[in-house]
Amino acid sequence: MKIQDTVLAEALPESLLAQLRSHLFAGREEIRAYVHSFGCQLNVSDGERIRGMLREIGFTLTEKREEADLILLNTCAVRESAEDHVYGILGNIKHEKVRNPDLILVLCGCMASEEQTSEYVRKHYPFVDIVFGTASLSRFPQLLLDHLEGVEVSTCDTGEYDAMYEGIVPSREHPFKAAVPVMFGCNNFCTYCIVPYVRGRERSRRPEQILQEVRELVRDGYREIMLLGQNVNSYGKDLPEPITFAQLLRQVEAIPGDFVIRFLSSHPKDATPELLDTILDSRKIGRHLHLPVQCGSNRILKAMNRRYTVEKYLETVDYLRQRDPDFSLTTDLIVGFPNESEEDFQGTLDLVQQVQYDNLYTFIYSKRRGTKAAEIEDKTPDAEKRQRMERLLKLQREVATAHYQRFLGRTLRVLVEGESKREGFLMGKDLAFIIVEFPGDPSLIGRFVSVRVTQTRNWAVEGVLVTPEEEQQ
């Protein structure tokens, strides 16, 4: 399979490339770059585009930070603990900078989009050479040239992505699974979330740009296409000719080829019947929806500014399950939002019991500076929050153990992703995003196979390979 690892010629002007190379390769045959992306899949996708630009400039990518001539940290700002982790890494890199004064150190991403953070880095970590925010990604080569020519560079802009973004072809880290951003930013302003402040407002890519990227990926042998956005089901509302996310999905599905379509993340308030029907009627779109509910209490949902009720959320679940009782659902849950009562938490437990999720992504609330929720005085003890989390996870294990029984004896179509931790076993996911483990040869990695389920657990199923002849019997 061909891995895309270059940049379209028009993305980086030849004059800019020539200037960069004259500085970078003076007296050197090879220059190496280390890129580390933290956080969500959108951040990872941005990191792949940065890798692509670096390759085009002439860098050799390395996985060893200690041998790099340029170190780039593409940061996450969702939690303050994520920022603290980066500061710890910067402290370690300071010693590397002392050993190698020519080392170029770059800080970018969501953390770098916060003006106060950018200022803090310049004051306390002056050895960081380049700082730029999420919306300045395509400007990175020019910022690098400015640095090489002795100009101090720093930007925390969160405005529009410019047209050059579309010319950047990522250096993808995976040989048959690809993430394709369809939009950037968020307009929801949930009170616990910093994303709208560091990613800016919602901005949709044009459908023809997305479709062209997917066509090239499918042509190059990619088997899973993940469409990304902070809220993908808001896609298209801001375009000159508005288009719904459901319409985009149908256009992607129409592209010839054997591949599966997935997407992240969805907001319950925008999960329209059109979107749900599009998923249910499709043969390529995963029969799975990650639908973050965050809490099972209307009082807390209002305090979070989620703009739906538990009852409205359950209407969406009921719609899906009426058409497909086995439809796969996963969700995000926050335990211990400021002043969450026992009654509020019981609502969350009741919701988990009622919906029967295949999996939960759970978090104990963490105060995030710069958000509205951070201003709320919280009187719930941390010990009580931890105890509630334990109760939630215990319930989910019980729910999932019973819910996964529906797969026993079924034959699932699985994209083989790699070797399992169990010797002799492979693992992959079916159309419903269910983890499947089975004995098999590594030569099957990257292919679709049929697996008959023989055992279930509370997070995965196990089975055996089924031949095409056996399927027809």
Q: Is the pLDDT of residue 342 over 70?
A: yes
* Single-letter code of the amino acid located at 130: I
Mean pLDDT of the chain: 91
Give the whole-angstrom CA distance, residue 76 versus residue 84: 10
pLDDT at site 4: 39
Which residues lie below 8 Å from residue 224, measured CB to CB, with a gap of 6+?
176, 177, 178, 259, 260, 262, 415
Give the whole-angstrom CA distance, residue 242 versus residue 87: 42
In this structure, are residues 240 and 264 in contact, taking their beta carbons and an 8 Å threshold? no
Enter the pTM of the model: 0.91
Torsion of the alpha carbons at 106, 110, 112 and 116, rounded to the nearest 10: -160
Peptide bond into 265 cis (omega under 30): yes
pLDDT at site 223: 98
Superfamily of domain 9-155, CATH level 4: Methylthiotransferase, N-terminal domain (3.40.50.12160)
Give the whole-angstrom CA distance, residue 126 versus residue 130: 10
- What's the mean pLDDT in 124-142? 89
pLDDT at site 27: 86
In this structure, are residues 205 and 183 in contact, taking their beta carbons and an 8 Å threshold? yes
Give the whole-angstrom CA distance, residue 320 versus residue 422: 35
108-122, 324-338, 380-394, 447-461, range with the lowest pLDDT: 108-122
Reported as a pLDDT band with limits 50, 70 and 90, residue 11 is low
Q: Is the pLDDT of residue 139 over 80?
A: yes
- What's the mean pLDDT in 125-143? 89
pLDDT in tens, 183-226: 999 999 999 999 998 888 899 999 999 999 999 999 999 999 99
pLDDT at site 9: 39
Q: Higher-confidence residue: 118 or 192? A: 192
- The domain spans of the chain are 9-155, 172-405, 408-472
pLDDT at site 467: 85
The percentage of the chain sitting over the pLDDT mark of 90, rounded to a whole number, equals 77
Q: Is the pLDDT of residue 41 over 50?
A: yes
Cα separation values, 333 from 4, 361, 445, Å: 36, 6, 33
pLDDT at site 306: 97
- What's the mean pLDDT in 141-168? 72
- What's the mean pLDDT in 343-358? 98
pLDDT at site 2: 36
pLDDT in tens, 370-421: 899 999 998 889 999 999 999 999 999 999 999 999 999 999 999 999 999 9
Secondary structure in 3-state letters for the chain: CCCCCCCCHHHCCHHHHHHHHHHHCCCCCCCEEEEEECCCHHHHHHHHHHHHHHHHHCCEECCCHHHCCEEEEEECCCCHHHHHHHHHHHHHHHHHHHHCCCCEEEEEECHHHCHHHHHHHHHHCCCCCEEECHHHHHHHHHHHHHHHCCCCEEECCCCCCCHHHHHCCCCCCCCCEEEEECEECCCCCCCCCCHHHHHCCCEECCHHHHHHHHHHHHHCCCCEEEEECCCHHHCCCCCCCCCCHHHHHHHHHCCCCCCEEEEECCCHHHCCHHHHHHHHHCCCECCEEECCCECCCHHHHHHCCCCCCHHHHHHHHHHHHHHCCCCEEEEEEEECCCCCCHHHHHHHHHHHHHHCCCEEEEEECCCCCCCCHHHCCCCCCHHHHHHHHHHHHHHHHHHHHHHHHHHCCCEEEEEEEEECCCCCEEEEEECCCCEEEEECCHHHCCCEEEEEEEEECCCCEEEEEECHHHHHC
Q: Is the pLDDT of residue 456 over 70?
A: yes
For domain 172-405, give the fold: pyruvate-formate lyase- activating enzyme (3.80.30)
pLDDT in tens, 88-111: 999 989 988 888 889 999 999 999
pLDDT in tens, 230-287: 999 999 999 999 999 999 999 999 999 999 999 998 999 999 999 999 999 999 999 9
pLDDT at site 157: 54
Region 408-472: CATH code: 2.40.50.140
